[in-house]
Amino acid sequence: MRPETKTDVNVNAHTKAEARLPVEEAGWQFDNSYVRLPEPFYVRIAPVPVRAPCLAILNHALAKSMGLNFDTLSDENVAQLFSGNVLPQTADPIAQAYAGHQFGGFTMLGDGRAILIGEHLTQAGSRLDVQLKGSGQTPFSRRGDGRAALGPMLREYIISEAMHALGIPSTRSLAVVTTGETVLRETPLPGAVLTRVAASHIRVGTFEYAARLNDGAYVKTLADYTIQRHYPDLFETANPYLALLRRVIDRQASLVAQWLLVGFIHGVMNTDNMAISGETIDYGPCAFMDEYDPYTVFSSIDYQGRYGYHNQSRAAQWNLARFAETLLPLLDPVQEKALVLAEETVHAFPGIFQQYWLTGMRRKLGLLTEEAEDVELIEALLMCLHEHHADYTNTFRMLTADPLPDDTLFQDSAFAAWHAQWQARLARQPESKAAAYRLMRASNPAILPRNHCVEAALTAASERGDYKEFRRLLGAVADPYIDKPEYREFCTPPSAAERVQQTFCGT
């Protein structure tokens, strides 16, 4: 099942990327553990050099947290580094193999336009994958060009950084470099390379790939590696592999609940885009909802709404069932017992997810205690929002205002009845209303990267080389829970003409 290394990829074109930068110049500390796995899990291959790399943006805060310092390097040298034209001395570039159920259909996949240059060890002891996305063809590219366009790479940069600022587990973006080359999609577009930082790139799809290698030892090897890398405490349990399944289910239940609480819609929740670490990965056709509608779908390739807002938790459980299937031989030597363990564990997901979601919604409404009727109170508000096409983000933020703003929703008799019920609920808490409102302001973002603002910033950068709006939006979402008058335009819902109906993956 391993791809042949002899492909139509221009191998000679990769040799230039073997040029190296002294590791001391930036502080890289690579220790590449993934290459100690059996060879079917990866292919060693260098990035394909680009013609004229130019630094578009560098995440100085992330670099500092990683113990990296690029102050001694010129922008030109930094661009050479993050384009893949030159590599740190201890880099060991590979393309990872994995599989995935994409919109329900199984496919053998792999890094078709990404190169993992290594695992960087931070001074705090964290191990972080450093990956170049858009770095050229690999043996997994199939018919793809292995490149990326500037707009989608900037989209991933700004939304992944916004997610981090919101406190939601996410891969991060370290840099975007333009390539001086054109990529052909529907139209010619400027090319770019994104540097993505992740706890790892081990996916549900990686386990699916291992399970298809027709050797049970591969799944065990991958599971042991995953536990050692992410959850070493599980080795102390009676059944580490069952504990791994439970831990991943818990992480994903928490993650998806956090997405829904801020109105985020992933767009392509395929099994190859579900990270075992519990981080949000792959910011293709994703978006944040403006007006509340549980049936919202943005992805241009999600024709049936499989990954729409209302389906995200169900899609996550479906993916986790595929993960459980790969672990069956490890859960118990008796197949019937393994199936029972897997089913019981996966069937627990809805209850775990519901508890995370309910806890988060209580915080959004300033509820510091628990009452049985809270679910009804929450659902009644969401119904009001849906009926009035109310802005999801702004409504929760405005609930702390006294008096309430002159808004159509707030003039509705059904909302007035709900508001009275909510105020009575707050009054039954031992904590003050002021304490409840403080909790709400800390739980409801004031600023998100709204679709129309993102598209405007990306258009200016891609079509005119103007990054002012992009940097301004990036600055706004860096402190999402703080009201800042200078960023007020980013809090305004889109007009009918500005509304973004679809988002695109960029491949």
Q: Are 298 and 286 in contact (CB under 8 A)?
A: yes
Taking the C-alpha atoms of residue 282 and residue 505, their distance in angstroms, rounded to an integer, is 9
Distances (CA, A) of 39 to 36, 420, 496: 8, 63, 53
Best CA proximity match to 120, nearest among 162, 87, 165, 163? 87
362, two tokens: 């209580």
Closest CA to 42 of 217, 202, 231: 202
Q: By the 8 A CB rule, do 447 and 491 touch?
A: yes
Pairing, β 20-21 against β 87-88: parallel
Count other Cβ atoms within 10 Å, centred on residue 468. 10
For residues 368 and 467, give the distance between their C-alpha atoms in angstroms, rounded to a whole number: 42
Which sequence positions are flagged as catalytic? 272
Identity at 381, one-letter amino acid code: L
Report how far residue 209's alpha carbon sits from residue 325's, in angstroms, rounded to the nearest whole number.
12
240-261 helix and 216-230 helix, angle to the nearest 10 degrees: 60
CA 44 and chain centroid, separation: 26
- Residue 51 host element (H or E): none
Burial 76-86 (b: 16+ CB within 10 A, else e): ebbbbbbbbbb
**Distance (Å, rounded) from C-alpha 267 to C-alpha 305?**
9
Q: Of 189, 193, 153, 190, which is closest to residue 49 (Cα–Cα)?
A: 193
What is the residue whose two structure tokens read 């402190």?
A: 479
Which one, of 19, 78, 49, lies nearest residue 136 by Cα?
49
Identify whether the C-beta of residue 302 lies closer than 8 Å to the C-beta of residue 233.
Answer: no
Q: Are 332 and 240 in contact (CB under 8 A)?
A: no
Q: Of 106, 152, 163, 111, which Cα lies nearest the Cα of 132? A: 111
